[in-house]
Amino acid sequence: MKKLFIISNESIYKNGNKYFCDNLDGKSTPEELNKKFEVNLIARKSRKERAHEININNIKIFASIFSFLSAVIISTKNNNAKYLFISISPYTFLACIFLKIFKKTPIVYLRSDGYKEYKAVLGFIGPIIYNFMFKIVSRFSNLISCREYILRNEKGKVVSPSQLDKDWFINTKKEINSKDLKLLYVGRLRVEKGIFSLLELIKDSDDIFLTIVGAEKNSLKNIIQKNVSIYQTENNKDKLINFYDNHKIFVLPSFTEGHPMVLLEALARLRPVLIFEEIQHVIGDKKGIFVSKKKFKKSNGNH
């Protein structure tokens, strides 16, 4: 079986002999590829607990960029190994450069728009930094993305991944009995995900209630709003489905998204999805998605 090295910017937490990540793709991608390859995952070390256990045997995590890059260089001794990079970051960018030096051609999988992500985190300088890394990496890598626009006219393949099984499409509920506007957000508490902007928009509302599913354990107490309930990441599929079924609208406030699985989950449960202008490209041919500006005005109980 051929070796596949997955070089990820994902922060992975180790507990005993088990490894955990926050992003579901960080779990599903190596697990599925491990069925056809001998997957070796190289990633960053996290001190914080993470939600999803990664069920493969060969995982190495590193606290410093020097040890991270050393592991990548050592991996080049495997002459027939293949390389898959998940996203472009300073860690993966430098790793790509070293692979080029050793005459390896990596595959780089871009799940979201790095330009917008870096802008959300670093401001105006963010896209400049990302553009520098992207332009260099794209010259000698094979690119894969879940959206054509993320490739920025560079040559690459577009994929449409899905993790939904038949359970997501049975026993669906069209409506819930509630006079209040119950919103649901499933995702991480990150600036680029737009969740803090959403919290600011609804902070003074008396009849809009938001449930957040996806908080890290140590961040549960960081958000205190009377109309907000926060839960840790939910790994149980049935419980996650119940969250969708018990809310009226799913909201995705991200500044950037490529192919959000949570959007597909919400639509599978017949829940309308509210997004903002920055990511209206995710609509495609899907029905039930509504675009709004990031403004909230309370007027006679109407929204």
In this prediction, residue 301 carries a pLDDT of: 44
Instruction: Give Rg (Cα) of the chain.
Output: 20
Extended strands (E) in the chain: 3-15, 18-21, 38-45, 52-53, 58-62, 82-86, 107-110, 142-145, 156-158, 181-186, 208-215, 228-232, 249-252, 273-276, 289-292
Distance CA 248, CA 91 (A): 40
CATH superfamily of 3-158: Glycogen Phosphorylase B; (3.40.50.2000)
Residue 195 and residue 189 in contact, taking contact as beta carbons nearer than 8 Å: yes
In this prediction, residue 302 carries a pLDDT of: 44
pTM, entire model: 0.73
Domain range 166-292, CATH class: alpha beta
Same fold, 3-158 and 166-292: yes
Q: Which two tokens stand for residue 113?
A: 């728009």
**Domain ranges (residues) in the chain:** 3-158, 166-292
In this prediction, residue 96 carries a pLDDT of: 96
The pLDDT tens digits along the chain (303 residues) read 899 999 999 899 999 999 999 887 888 899 999 999 999 999 999 988 887 899 999 999 999 999 999 999 999 998 889 999 999 999 999 999 999 999 999 999 998 889 988 998 899 999 999 999 999 999 999 999 988 889 999 999 988 777 788 999 998 887 776 677 899 999 888 888 888 889 988 888 888 899 999 877 666 667 778 899 998 888 788 999 999 999 999 999 988 777 788 999 999 999 999 998 888 888 877 889 999 877 655 544 444
Q: How far apart are the first and last CA of the chain?
A: 57
